[in-house]
């Protein structure tokens, strides 16, 4: 019997089902996946739709999420060979181009990588608006929605960053592996950050199965993880991936401190808060390693990657701001409404 089984932390092995389509592109992708990958051809109308789609809209973001998920855990009843089917990769490429163009257009750019990372060390006046709302005026159902949104990434925490490892060398690679080792629990499955988040979800009465809430979240949530997959899966964007990772580690420490306080405010116990308390300590170290030993070393070796590192840092701020705006627009409305496509069942489930 493995340690996992003995300690009751058996990994989640359920494979998600395909989500419901939300428009022409996601419909096209879901329809393709129902067929055999060998007999499939790219539909030129879908390619045109991908080029003209709203880059931050539900349809394109869900379609991209489905394409990327084939590289992670896949979907129940979808042939694993779809992962490398040229027809789907062509459609995904058109959607990625639309998304990447929008990320570039929505950020100021530049090549001062150290400068943009330094800026993150000084928090702007309005930082932490979501945890502040949750502490001052938030309700339990809103906290549960927040966790459902974040589960799309945290249940595969650090997976998108692992794609970059073979694209690095020497000190930058060794340093990134050290950070990833922590993210994956330092060799202990029950300490993996994805597992700690699953524990928190269970404490809040939520379904901790991988991908359980993908069908309920809107585009701003999907765009955060899609951006990571986009940067991670393209060697040409390795600079953007490490820039994103450094930005995430710098901003996660203060954010984790705030969310630990939110959970305390709602009376969530130690098993539930461990995900955030772990990040307060860990990310103070990860931030230093990413800045100095990954970004610093990589740019010393190849200064041409500086603009991509800046893109990764700024795009992280862009997608996170869109997500925050969405949550607050829903929750601070005169009649507060759900930030999900449908309210979560059992509004008071898990309430301490």
Long-range pairs, 320-324, Cβ under 8 A, ≥24: 320/224, 320/251, 322/56, 322/220, 322/223, 323/149, 323/220, 323/221, 323/223, 323/224, 324/129, 324/130
Question: By C-beta, is 216 or 290 nearer to Fe ion?
Answer: 290
Judged by CB under 5 A, the stretch of 52-60, 196-204, 275-283, 325-333 that binds Fe ion is 275-283
Is the sign of the CA dihedral 214, 142, 324, 190 positive or negative? negative
CA distance 128 to 139: 17
Q: How far is the CB of 166 from Fe ion (least distance, A)?
A: 20
Q: How far is the CB of 343 from Fe ion (least distance, A)?
A: 29
Q: How far is the CB of 287 from Fe ion (least distance, A)?
A: 8
The CA-based angle 31-19-37, given to 5 degrees, is: 35
Q: Which of 58, 286, 287, 299 binds Fe ion (CB under 5 A)?
A: 286
Instruction: Give the HSE-up count for residue 5: Cα atoms under 13 Å, Cβ half-sphere.
Output: 3
Judged by CB under 5 A, the stretch of 15-23, 169-177, 285-293, 305-313 that binds Fe ion is 285-293
Report if residue 283 touches Fe ion, rule: CB under 5 A: yes
Other CB atoms within 10 A of residue 114 CB: 14
Give SS3 for 155. coil
Question: By C-beta, is 262 or 282 nearer to Fe ion?
Answer: 282
CA distance 262 to 134: 7
Q: Which of 22, 92, 167, 193 binds Fe ion (CB under 5 A)?
A: 193
Structure tokens of 53? 């789609």
Report if residue 287 touches Fe ion, rule: CB under 5 A: no
Comparing CA positions, the residue from 188, 254, 225, 184 lying closest to residue 315 is: 225
Length of the chain equals 352
Structure tokens of 52? 């003209």
**How many residues touch Fe ion (CB under 5 A)?**
4
Judged by CB under 5 A, the stretch of 10-18, 133-141, 190-198, 220-228 that binds Fe ion is 190-198
Select the residue whose beta carbon is closest to Fe ion and give its number.
193
Note the helical H segments in 187-269: 193-203, 219-233, 238-265
Q: How far is the CB of 249 from Fe ion (least distance, A)?
A: 5
From residue 217 to residue 256, what is the string marking binding to Fe ion with x (rule CB under 5 A)?
A: ----------------------------------------
Report if residue 183 touches Fe ion, rule: CB under 5 A: yes
CA distance 71 to 66: 10
Please give the distance of CA 341 from its chain centroid, rounded to a whole number.
18
Question: By C-beta, is 60 or 246 nearer to Fe ion?
Answer: 246
Question: By C-beta, is 4 or 278 nearer to Fe ion?
Answer: 278
Question: By C-beta, is 26 or 225 nearer to Fe ion?
Answer: 225
CA distance 74 to 76: 7
Q: How far is the CB of 263 from Fe ion (least distance, A)?
A: 16
Other CB atoms within 10 A of residue 332 CB: 11
Question: By C-beta, is 28 or 168 nearer to Fe ion?
Answer: 168
Q: How far is the CB of 340 from Fe ion (least distance, A)?
A: 24
What is the biggest distance separating any 2 CA atoms in the chain, rounded to whole angstroms?
A: 56
Q: How far is the CB of 277 from Fe ion (least distance, A)?
A: 12
Report if residue 59 touches Fe ion, rule: CB under 5 A: no
Q: How far is the CB of 282 from Fe ion (least distance, A)?
A: 5
Report if residue 199 touches Fe ion, rule: CB under 5 A: no
Helices 24-33 + 86-105 axis angle, to 10: 150
Question: By C-beta, is 196 or 306 nearer to Fe ion?
Answer: 196
Judged by CB under 5 A, the stretch of 103-111, 262-270, 276-284, 307-315 that binds Fe ion is 276-284
User: What are the residues binding Fe ion (CB under 5 A)?
Assistant: 183, 193, 283, 286
């Amino acid at each position: 019997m493995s340690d996992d089984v003995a300690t009751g932390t058996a990994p989640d092995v359920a494979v998600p089902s395909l989500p419901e389509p939300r428009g022409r592109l996601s419909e096209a992708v879901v329809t393709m996946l129902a067929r055999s990958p060998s007999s499939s051809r790219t539909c030129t109308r879908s390619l045109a739709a991908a080029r003209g789609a709203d880059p931050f809209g539900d349809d394109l973001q869900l379609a991209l999420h489905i394409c990327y998920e084939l590289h992670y855990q896949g979907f129940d009843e979808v042939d694993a060979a779809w992962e490398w089917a040229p027809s789907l990769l062509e459609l995904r490429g058109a959607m990625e181009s639309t998304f990447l163009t929008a990320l570039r257009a929505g950020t100021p750019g530049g090549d001062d990588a150290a400068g943009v990372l330094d800026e993150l060390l000084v928090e702007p006046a309005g930082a932490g608006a979501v945890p502040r709302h949750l502490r001052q005026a938030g309700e339990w159902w809103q906290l549960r929605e927040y966790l459902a949104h974040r589960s799309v990434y945290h249940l595969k925490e650090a997976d998108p960053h692992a794609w970059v490892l073979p694209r690095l060398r020497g000190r930058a690679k060794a340093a990134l592996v050290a950070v990833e080792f922590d993210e994956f629990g330092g060799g202990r499955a029950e300490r993996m950050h994805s597992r700690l988040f699953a524990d928190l979800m269970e404490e809040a009465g939520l379904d901790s199965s991988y991908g359980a809430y993908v069908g309920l979240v809107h585009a701003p949530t999907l765009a955060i993880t899609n951006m990571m997959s986009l940067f991670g899966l393209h060697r040409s964007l390795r600079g953007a991936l490490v820039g994103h990772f450094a930005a995430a580690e710098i901003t996660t420490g203060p954010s984790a401190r705030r969310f630990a306080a939110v959970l305390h405010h709602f009376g969530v116990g130690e098993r539930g808060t461990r995900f955030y308390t772990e990040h307060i300590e860990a990310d103070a170290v990860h931030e230093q390693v990413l800045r100095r030993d990954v970004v610093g070393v990589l740019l010393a070796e190849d200064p041409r990657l500086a603009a991509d590192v800046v893109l990764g840092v700024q795009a992280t701020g862009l997608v996170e701001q869109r997500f925050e705006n969405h949550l607050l627009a829903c929750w601070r409305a005169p009649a507060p409404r759900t930030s999900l496509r449908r309210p979560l069942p059992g509004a008071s489930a898990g309430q301490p």
